[in-house]
Amino acid sequence: MRKIFDIHTHVWPDKIAAAVLVHLQEKSAHLPVYTDGTYSGLKAKAEAAGYTAWMNLPVVTRPDQAHSLNEKVAARNHWPTLSMGGVHPDDDDVIGELHHVKDLGLFGIKMHPEYQEFNPLEERMEKIWSFCEDQGMPVLIHAGNDVGFQPPFHSRPADFAEVVRRHPALTLICAHMGGWLNWGEMERDLAGRPVYIDTSFSAMYMKDEPGKFERLIRLHGIDRVVFGTDSPWQALTSGIADIEGLTLSDEDKDKIFWGNADRIFGLAALEANG
């Protein structure tokens, strides 16, 4: 049986999960959802799908949210439900909060250029990238368009290429195959650069060009592709099917499902200590 790690999932506390999903669906063209947004709901779906573990990605939408949000997700940060933390670029003490994320044992930070209204190359972002580079803290960043927002969008694939040029030791994971609905620019400006890309919420939007999903994976390089779904916005089983349906070798599929993320986060050791 394959080991499967989903690097891109979202959950909320039980008391607010239903209301959050309603709000996000209203904002996002009433996209269907495939879990109830709770920790237990995702766990049940993940176990049924054959997952080994998964990563929660909280989004800090206001500077004053960060500290308490990180405390809350850290309390649920136990194998197999892992979690990143978050910071907001407008936080007056963003470095202090980054130290807090590290001290809590969270697995990096999630950043979102649309919800947090920043461009990755802004001067105010440099201290965040520098801290994460120096501390070996992975960053998973929303990449590309977002169904809940209108253009112009805050980032482009070339921006991520420039971030890692400036910060070559930074572990940067660009969601949605490096640029949701912006894959032409991803292919031109980001493919093959020293960033990771996740597979979340992407293959179904490439069906107008058969083979495109696999072509971009091969072009970028198998060793820098990690599996994700963006649950609850994609069914876990369909995310698995997106990878299983490729003509890649079993060895390469295992890298996407587990091995590459294991190299970033040390998953095998975490599982052993479960």
Both tokens assigned to 69: 């949000």
**pTM for the complete prediction?**
0.98
Strand pairing report for 139-141 and 225-226 = unpaired
Residue 108 has a pLDDT of 98
**Residue of 167, 214, 215 lying closest to 193 (CA atoms):** 167
Residue 79 has a pLDDT of 98
Inter-axis angle of helices 236-244 and 39-49, to 10 degrees? 30
Give the whole-angstrom CA distance, residue 165 versus residue 177: 19
Superfamily of domain 5-273 in the CATH hierarchy = Metal-dependent hydrolases (3.20.20.140)
Amino acid at residue number 224: R
Residue 274 has a pLDDT of 85
In sequence order, the 6+-apart residues with CB closer than 8 A to the CB of 107 are 55, 77, 82, 83, 84, 138, 265
Distances (CA, A) of 227 to 28, 117, 201, 206: 23, 26, 10, 16
Q: Kindly give the parts of the chain with pLDDT less than 50.
A: none
Residue 191 has a pLDDT of 98
